[in-house]
Structure 1
Amino acid sequence: MKKEQPYNTFPAFLKKYFPFKVQKISLNAGFTCPNRDGTKGHGGCTYCNNQTFNPAYCKTEKSVETQLNEGKVFFSYKYPEMKYLAYFQAYTNTYDELDGLKKKYEEALQTKDVVGLVIGTRPDCMPDSLLDYLEELNKKTFLLVEYGIESTHDETLKRINRGHTFAETVDAIYRTKQRGILTGGHVILGLPGEDKNQILSQAIEISKLPLDTIKLHQLQIIKGTKMAKEYAEHPEDFHMFNVDDYMNLVIDYIQLLNPEITVERFLSQSPKELIITPDWGLKNYEFTDRVFKKMKEIGAYQGKLFNN
């Protein structure tokens, strides 16, 4: 790890693959989820309200191409030469028949200035037949598959109604990485029932996986979710970090993390009108600047406490 860079950043990761600036554009391609449609359950994950990550241009009645072109308007004014990654983000973006998935992925790749795909999904929604296709697609374009891990503790996964185990997560990540596909993960820090020691033990488990990228997000209680009702009824079950405590937790987590993994982000930015708590009033880059400065001040860096 370079001294001036206390952790592996996502822009540096992208520079390995692109000689130009690239920006992810979020899409809502009209997918659902197996624990919403009754296959595994109803109601979805207890913390989930998909409005929290749907920009205004993400409307399911719009085609993938239209959403991408409208998304580009947000970014092209600043960097006219910008290229884009189509980010299939909302719900479970591998949860469909193979032909339907191919059509949407390839529509995205045929859109002007789109140079790759990022596909967000669940670990229990990655059949080998889809991996066969993605393995071939990966030979032609940039591809990153991002799994919602959320927690490494099965008790927590059950409590938040994920509908899968951590063993299924491990299996999906290994099967994807074995195909030569870039593989990412997403975790939520501060889920109910998990104390600081359990959260930090997660970093040790995550470090054993062949992940290329990881996103860390603080738990937010969002209006319209089952977790919001739980929080109202039993706030004692939740430890809501203040911004300084969360920053210190993130730094401890990163120091335990495998130094080969890229840390994409630390913070979730939900629409202010949907947040019950915590509302720190910080942009992602502002929090990142604080983490960077604090790590430099105390001599912390990614992998400092990593035990291979």
Structure 2
Amino acid sequence: MTSGFFMTYTSVSEYYKKIFGRKIYKITLDAGCTCPNRDGTKAVGGCIFCSASGSGDFAAERNFSISEQIEKAKKLVANKIKNIDESKSNYIAYFQNFTNTYGDENSLIKKYREALENPQIAGIAIGTRPDCVGQSILEKIHDLTKEQFMDGNTVGRKYFSIELGLQTSNEKSAGYIRRHYSNEDYIDAVKRIKEINPDIHIVTHIIFGLPGEDENVMLETVRFALKTGTDGLKLQVLNVLKGTDLAKDYEEGKFKVLEMDEYFSILKKALSIIPSDIVMHRLTGDGAKNILIEPQWIANKRKVMNDLKKFLSD
């Protein structure tokens, strides 16, 4: 476990190493989904902060097959990380863009399976909204967890994770960001996932720095997710991206983004209340630089992580 001042937390790299016994890389895929916040079912335009790609700005183009996207994503990893042993399962396939349990269920399961059939894919992570985890798609995912796939040079079951975009437990903030689902939807989704298969790893996304939220509200969201029963957390500072309605509000001076020291201070307090068995999948985000307006300090991820490590150890 990673230690810092008086808290200890489990990093995602440590978590993967414990499960798989080796380094695991996460690659982003596009399943071709949309969102009820965009197609008119609940709203149009999406959440106020969401980019045109549905928060999947690092995924391959959706016109490629899942297998083709995997190969392209692997090359991106290889360009950054040398000496990867591609004879082993080194990747989690992350279905990120938009809402990946929303759409034709048989088509979605086919795409999940296509990823899992690749012997270098150790498992999948499915990004979605709590109000789109219907019982039917959840049962189909559960059935898939019981199937056997080639895993490196052996045959066995693979890893499954469902990532839920909570962002905030404050209903006023939820209205502002146009989330269009309730906290009860999130509670219900976590409950049903755990009931059908407790081995599915649940990750909850939380944003710090939403307009109108102070430190206490942000920490209350963390407490809410922990109380509900999440297995992991993704924490990040609010990103203002080009082309979003949030960008319009920012340009009109309706709010300010968190400075790095402000974010680090809140994050440090959050880590102090998070149990050590909760997996920290992300401590800060790094939005696509070509569409990032603010905060610019997140653009240099390596520097941010080095500064954060120093801050947490002080």
Residue from 273, 279, 282 that aligns with 1:256: 273
Match of 2:21 in 1: 19
Q: Are the equivalent residues in 2 in contact too, given 1:91–1:121 (CA < 8 A)?
A: yes
1:124-159 superposed Cα distances (whole Å, 9 cap, x missing partner)? 001111111222222321001000011011111111
Q: Which residue identity is paired with 1:294?
A: F
The answer to whether the aligner puts 1:273 opposite 2:290 as a matched pair is yes
1:24-77 superposed Cα distances (whole Å, 9 cap, x missing partner)? 11011110000100011100000000445322x611111111000111112236
**TM-score under structure 1 normalisation?**
0.90
**TM-aligned CA distance change 1:2 to 1:97, over 3 Å:** closer
Match of 2:35 in 1: 33
Match of 2:152 in 1: none
Deviation at 1:282, TM superposition (A): 4.5
SS at match of 1:30: coil
SS at match of 2:180: coil
1:212-246 superposed Cα distances (whole Å, 9 cap, x missing partner)? 1100010111110011112222x24x231111111
Match of 2:77 in 1: 75
Match of 1:101 in 2: 108
Greater shift after overlay, 78-87 or 214-223?
78-87
Q: Which residue identity is paired with 1:172?
A: A
Residues of 2 paired with 1:281 and 1:250: CA distance? 14
1:250-294 superposed Cα distances (whole Å, 9 cap, x missing partner)? 101111223321111122211222122210054434323333322
Match of 1:173 in 2: 190
Residues of 1 paired with 2:74 and 2:172: CA distance? 41
Residues of 1 paired with 2:178 and 2:239: CA distance? 16
* Runs of 5+ unmatched residues, structure 1: 298-308
**TM-aligned CA distance change 1:241 to 1:2, over 3 Å:** closer
Q: Are the equivalent residues in 2 in contact too, given 1:149–1:186 (CA < 8 A)?
A: yes
**TM-score under structure 2 normalisation?**
0.88
Deviation at 1:203, TM superposition (A): 2.0
Residues of 2 paired with 1:144 and 1:285: CA distance? 26
Q: Which residue identity is paired with 1:254?
A: L
Q: Are the equivalent residues in 2 in contact too, given 1:6–1:292 (CA < 8 A)?
A: no
SS at match of 1:16: helix
What value does the CA root-mean-square deviation take over the aligned residues?
1.9
Q: Which residue identity is paired with 2:162?
A: V
Aligned residues: 294
The answer to whether the aligner puts 1:155 opposite 2:159 as a matched pair is no
SS at match of 1:35: coil
Residues of 1 paired with 2:119 and 2:69: CA distance? 12
State the identity %: 33
Residues of 2 paired with 1:276 and 1:286: CA distance? 18
Match of 1:306 in 2: none
SS at match of 1:53: coil
Q: Are the equivalent residues in 2 in contact too, given 1:251–1:291 (CA < 8 A)?
A: no
Match of 1:203 in 2: 222
Q: Are the equivalent residues in 2 in contact too, given 1:50–1:91 (CA < 8 A)?
A: no
Q: Are the equivalent residues in 2 in contact too, given 1:119–1:144 (CA < 8 A)?
A: yes
* Runs of 5+ unmatched residues, structure 2: 147-156
Greater shift after overlay, 251-260 or 146-155?
251-260
Q: Which residue identity is paired with 1:197?
A: N
